[in-house]
Structure 1
Amino acid sequence: AHSAPLTLASGEVVGWVGSVLDVTERQRVERLAARQQELLEASGRLVAMGEVASTLAHELNQPLGALSGFATGLLNRVRERRITLDEIVPVVERMERMADKAGRVIQRINAFARRQDMTRLPMALAPFVARVAHSVPLPEGVALELSLAAGDGPTVPADALLLENALHNLVLNAGEWAPRSGRTPARVRVSLVPGERQIGVCVADSGPGVPPEQRATVFDAFSSHKPGGMGMGLAICRSIAEAHHGRIELADSPDLLGAKFTLWLPLT
């Protein structure tokens, strides 16, 4: 903007009109940019929440199904008087843990929907990835291989429940595709890949890979190439990665010959 001195009738120069206008305009643009960023983040959270909610029944099916099975078995043994008090306690404790986990998943989704900040806390990545990968039920005959850092490995700021959801989806998806190439043994490999100020969680499989014509839409919601699939798992993974200021990439696995998904997370 053109700057001109502001002069009183007495001839005293008291300021520069252009400079004041420059500062005011810059402040207005900065406020507008901050508001736009806030709206984008809110929109992103709502999209991610919608995607997570779409698969809520599927994600909670395992713990709720297990709860129902434990309750039915326990009730039958109690009615038939085939169980002691000492045997009851561990069963009820396990049911309590499953119910608690299901409840915390729902709480995190509710917080996501209300635009509350995620609980991003420092987390040792290697033991977390190992625990989640081992908890995923892979099809019979599919081998899980881990290639993680020694000890706790790098620490990342993360929302543990949301990140667990993303990693669980990636490993589950890899396990379903791994046997479909006919190569034996069918394998899923989970590894950590160092990057510049970031760390990648890589999930590769021995499946047929993703054809080039499908790569542009593989992360889109409702884009599924699995029989009966809703096409939400990878969309959720992408949303969770972006909520952590990270990203997710798809490539070919040079050694397993299938697909390789890498979830990149900033170290700070």
Structure 2
Amino acid sequence: VIATDITPRRQAEEQAAAQAERAQTASRLITMGEMASSVAHELNQPLTAINNYCNGMISRIKDQQITEEAMLAALEKTSKQAQRAGQIIQRIRSFVKRSEPNRALSDIGTMVSEAVELAEIELRRRNVRLSYYVAARLPRLLVDPILIEQVLVNLMKNASESIDAADRPSPRRSVELRVVPRQVEGQDAVEFSVVDTGQGLAPEVLERLYEAFFSTKAEGMGIGLNLCRSIIESHSGRMEAENLYNGADITGCRFSFWLPVYQQPNEGAARSAEQTTRIPG
């Protein structure tokens, strides 16, 4: 009989487990710090909308130029943005806590409309035109719609800020949002892209663009983009950025991300079987 003292090994395992737990706790604290900054960044949009609606009502009431119907409509929009602010806090907190979004089959047109309505407030303030195109008959996506809408709002807001920073003249102050089908490694997907006419991004900025707390300006755009990428990747998608050129001159920037199309279990196998058994006429 050979006796082996496993005490040192057990102690080493316990020490390794304790170190792993401390590392996980430290990572969680860093993540929570990022979340706090991100929440402040994300809440800026609905709070700005609420402020604009309220100021608009105050001005029109003072001038006695508002009807009861118009006031009710403005109050409903204000209430909607207040509810959205609460949803943002809840969804981002849950996203960080679970690292998993609250998915549901969601209509792309509805998500785009909600995001455009919110982003237009900021773009109008900066005198930036917004156009958007959504391809027909796109499938619903299995996503958390609030999170995807926030990604779109952030990208459109950042685009308008880039145009402002470039001091573009009025004819060149435009942002375009496009949503089209795409194939990614043989898989059906939907691509969202936001194109601006801003100053573009320097190579060193492109390399560090998604790092937590990295920003090209004081408002902290890096927080928003870091969170955007995390949201898209949590939905099994990818986000990309590229400068647009006219010869050697940068004419703007294009941010895009794609999301996979949800397929019912065995849907692919059924489609394959259908193709296999079809007989040419």
- Provide the TM-score with structure 1 as the length reference: 0.68
Question: Which SS does the other structure have where 1:245 is aligned?
Answer: coil
Task: State whether structure 2 residue 250 is matched by structure 1 residue 250.
Answer: no
Measure, in 2, the Cα distance between the counterparts of 1:231 and 1:87. 38
What CA distance in whole angstroms lies between the structure 2 residues aligned with 1:72 and 1:203?
30
- 1:205 shift after superposition: 0.9
Residue by residue over 1:69-113, the C-alpha shift from the partner in whole angstroms, topping out at 9 and shown as x without a partner, is 7779989999xxxx9987875555444323222221122123223
For residue 162 of structure 1, the aligned residue among 135, 138, 147 is 147
Cα distance in structure 2, aligned partners of 1:69 and 1:153:
33
Matched AA of 1:109:
I
Change in 2 beyond 3 A, CA 1:91/1:261: closer
For 1:186 and 1:91, locate their aligned partners in 2 and report how far apart those are by CA, in whole Å.
Answer: 28
Residue among 119, 123, 132 paired with 1:146: 132
The equivalent of 1:224 in structure 2 is 215
* Count of residues in Structure 1 that have an aligned counterpart in Structure 2: 228
Secondary structure of the corresponding residue to residue 55 of structure 1: helix
Q: CA deviation at 1:223?
A: 1.5
Give, in whole Å, the separation in 1 of the partners of 2:77 and 2:176.
Answer: 29
Give SS of 1:102's match.
helix
Alignment of 1:37-76 (within 5 A): 50-64=33-47, 67=50
> How far does residue 156 in structure 1 lie from its aligned partner after superposition?
1.5
* Equivalent residues of 1:63, 1:98 under 8 A apart: yes
* C-alpha distance after superposition, 1:185-216 (max 9, x if no partner): 22211112422322211111111211112211
Bigger helix share: 2
Larger Rg: 1
Of 178, 185, 190 in structure 2, the residue corresponding to residue 199 of structure 1 is 190
Contact 1:70 1:91 in 2 (8 A): yes
User: Which whole-Å CA distance do the structure 2 matches of 1:250 and 1:218 have between them?
Assistant: 9
CA shift at 1:246, angstroms? 0.9
1:30-179 → structure 2 map (5 Å cutoff): 50-64=33-47, 67=50, 90=73, 92-115=75-98, 117-136=100-119, 137-138=122-123, 139-150=125-136, 152-179=137-164
Residues 1:114 and 1:127: Cα distance change in structure 2 (over 3 Å): closer
Measured at CA, do residues 156 and 89 of structure 1 come closer, stay the same or move farther in structure 2, by a change above 3 Å?
closer
Out of 254, 259, 264, the residue aligned to residue 260 of structure 1 is 254
Q: What TM-score, normalized by structure 2, do the two folds share? A: 0.65
Cα distance in 2 for partners of 1:51, 1:181 equals: 31
Deviations 1:103-156 (A, max 9, x none): 211221232233174221112224422431342021433221213202x52321
Deviation, 1:168, is: 0.8
Deviations 1:46-82 (A, max 9, x none): 876653431322322343455567779989999xxxx
Runs (4 or more) in structure 1 with deviation over 4 Å come to 43-50, 65-78, 83-92
- What SS is found at the alignment partner of 2:152? helix
Change (3 A) 1:49 1:121: farther
**CA distances 1:214-253 after superposition (whole Å, capped 9, x unpaired):** 2110111222112443521111111111111111011123
What SS class does the counterpart of residue 258 from structure 1 fall into?
A: strand
Identical columns (%) = 35
Alpha-carbon distance between aligned partners in 2 of 1:69 and 1:264, rounded to the nearest angstrom: 32
Q: Is the 8 A contact 2:88 2:146 kept in 1?
A: yes
Name the CA distance, whole Å, in 1 between partners of 2:32 and 2:216.
23
**Could you give the per-residue CA deviations for residues 3-60 of structure 1, whole angstroms, max 9, x where no partner exists?**
xxxxxxxxxxxxxxxxxxxxxxxxxxxxxxxxxxxxx9xx999876653431322322
Q: Within 2, Cα distance between the matches of 1:171 and 1:117?
A: 24
Matched, 1:190 2:177: yes
Give, as a single letter, the amino acid of the residue that structure 2 aligns with 1:178.
Answer: I
* Alignment check: 8 A CA contact 1:45 1:115 kept: no
Query: Match of 2:154, SS?
Result: helix
Calculate the aligned-residue CA RMSD, in Å: 3.8
